[in-house]
Structure 1
């Protein structure tokens, strides 16, 4: 299958469903033996999936990140371990895409499309997500840069042919003391680097979670990405793209969990009735589906925004990465309640697929910036977000393009460390509410108006918050979470404002109004969504 054919998520989904290495029993055996899913990754290569890791301007087919989200989501729907293991190459290459050297990017793109595996080496033992504490050094020397130190734990550190390494190049330059290097292992002298042992993990057991240690490894001068001292800036901008892709993994996990759960409740009988006919089961399923729809609305908007509202991606990526995995973790737990013991057993139902995906998904909320890190990023932007809200600043052209599923994807503009214009999506909330007032049922209008009032109050609270430093208060994190819900409300309204009678709109607004507080939800709106699950299998 060519990359063009693989652009259809349905065709990719069908191809993976028929792939022998992705059968439930084969996946379970690899998980049990903690074996890397090499055959499944080979099939993804044959299907042309690596083409989606390379931007179109550098020879691939990727034009906006909603496309990449769909590809990653489709793979994760079958096995999260495979999706995380294979898509890591995009993470390893993204800093080259962001740095923007066309010649170098095209060369790397050609290698990736030919099957090269690239890893991203950021974290170090004992430092976690504190990239400014990194100790691995890159010292100028004859022939290039001498690398000393270790990165751990790193996905695909051992299997990768190339590693994108964040290294300290100055001891006293603060954030400007770090640079990036794309290190090709075959260019290093024998014995100057060694892989660190695979780490045994609770989830994604078959993935290559290991590390790499350098001891006098000399990388050529052309290994430098960007200019000296730009490493951290490039990484922070790249994370705005990778976080959206990572949120796509959560959507795939939710699809898988729902498929397993719906199949079970449609077949299982209790008290002479199928489980799906019981009122409390219908209600639970409706609430689960609604949470997934809310997460999907945010993530897909963020993916489109990469090419239409690029300067605001620091906001959309943080919201997508904080909110989607959180909502999906909750949804998976609710699915587990409906499955009962089958959610924990490894041999009884679908070869233990549910307990595996539940374990695997726990990592998604951690890598590429944890929920804590992403909310802290939002807190740092509160002044700009408040100013944008009060001035009603909006990029209307960018918003229209981001919400048009049939529009031509746009090439990304310039990524910024912080949004200068706030969040156009949230700042469009008043006009979105006006739009639904014209055609929506009164119950939907009331929900929309309630959310608008809560959003107005939230911005007042954000404005009253004292300046926050590294140790932001618990109250600040609560405000950041509530801001995520406001972004979600605007994403939901922008998605369905032209179809205000759809049950998805009422259900999603009800869920968000309930979480933002001061609202008595009509839970019956969730029941209607269960009818749409008849075809899910």
Structure 2
């Protein structure tokens, strides 16, 4: 058993850390205030090779694995979870094409992503969050393809995306077995995207409603066979959840960094905060959960790269890191005391950014359902 990274992995980790400190961190606060994503950062990240790194090399990507994605994601999200999420979330839209796309689809769409276009993964609906099988968007067969009618909500990067992977019911009576997946062009007639939704945190990451009014999608844009959409989505999550776990890992690392810096500088009752055992124990517990988060995240990613089924490990990593990040952000504010509640310091933003980690990509409760189900099957 070897827990060390390769030289190449350390290089890309260092590159991501340096880029995050130089290009992301200075814009984090203002982007949160403006509720906007600074597009220039995406171009710079593209130029140094930090986006779309999991796309196969034959289609213009770097051909790197799930672990490398986690390493990069951790560093970018340490600087800003909103900006980091926006830079990394293309993986979620690319994975269904990688999982179920044919050669023509991969060549057409991976090339565009490698060139810098954004894409969205459109599954969640107003009445179907955790219960993906309850989606109501329909895909009606027509001559040459399908007509999509319905709506989606909380779709990451929808306002930036030039294409979307959309899940819709081709057989509304068949439950999850009636869901199919489609690649849909953003400029399709009848497709409209709402303004970015107001959010508590991760404000630099645009998240929107998407509406489909008899949107025509050619049959050539269906991913896999009819009825395979739910399976495609679940396989995608096995690959993407280690990345989302790395979102939480990066934020927890930032909580540790900020708390340590404050606790070693700030004095109370004549001594540094860290010299008070109550504070020292909080910091130690933060470090414990950070290290556990890192090991769980890297394990889930490593299993995916080995071609092994990682459903349980991906859910464990996602649930643990999300909960740890929310806990660490709460502890960071407590360590900062009254100043932690002030916008003068970064921990209040970390707190706001952390909460949704326990909700999107499958809530912490859903992850526990998955874990329990897999335990019963074992």
TM range (shorter): over 0.9
Corresponding residue to 2:232 among 226, 231, 234: 234
1:459-470 equivalences under 5 Å are none
1:36-60 CA distance string (max 9 Å, x none): 2323333222222223141456542
Structure 1 residue 276: Cα displacement: 2.3
Counterpart-to-counterpart distance in 1, 2:11 and 2:47: 13
> Structure 2, unaligned stretches of length 5 or more?
1-7
Say which structure, 1 or 2, has more relative contact order (CA 8 Å, 6+ apart): 2
Counterpart-to-counterpart distance in 1, 2:148 and 2:31: 35
1:36-115 equivalences under 5 Å are 36-56=37-57, 58-99=59-100, 101-115=102-116
Aligned to 1:146: 147
Corresponding residue to 1:368 among 354, 361, 369: 361
Aligned to 2:219: 221
1:232-381 equivalences under 5 Å are 232-308=230-306, 310-311=308-309, 313-347=310-344, 349=345, 353-381=346-374
Given the two structures, how large is their TM-score scaled by the length of structure 1? 0.66
Counterpart-to-counterpart distance in 2, 1:297 and 1:276: 26
Counterpart-to-counterpart distance in 1, 2:147 and 2:48: 38
Aligned to 2:16: 12
Given the two structures, how large is their TM-score scaled by the length of structure 2? 0.92
The question of whether the paired residues in 2 share the 8 Å contact of 1:167 and 1:179 is answered with: yes
The question of whether the paired residues in 2 share the 8 Å contact of 1:176 and 1:230 is answered with: yes
1:40-96 CA distance string (max 9 Å, x none): 333222222223141456542244311111111110010000011121211111111
> Structure 1, unaligned stretches of length 5 or more?
386-537
Aligned to 2:4: none
Counterpart-to-counterpart distance in 1, 2:370 and 2:59: 30
Counterpart-to-counterpart distance in 1, 2:41 and 2:340: 25
The question of whether the paired residues in 2 share the 8 Å contact of 1:58 and 1:102 is answered with: no
1:159-188 CA distance string (max 9 Å, x none): 1000100000012223221100011123x2
Q: How many residues align?
A: 371
The question of whether the paired residues in 2 share the 8 Å contact of 1:41 and 1:82 is answered with: no
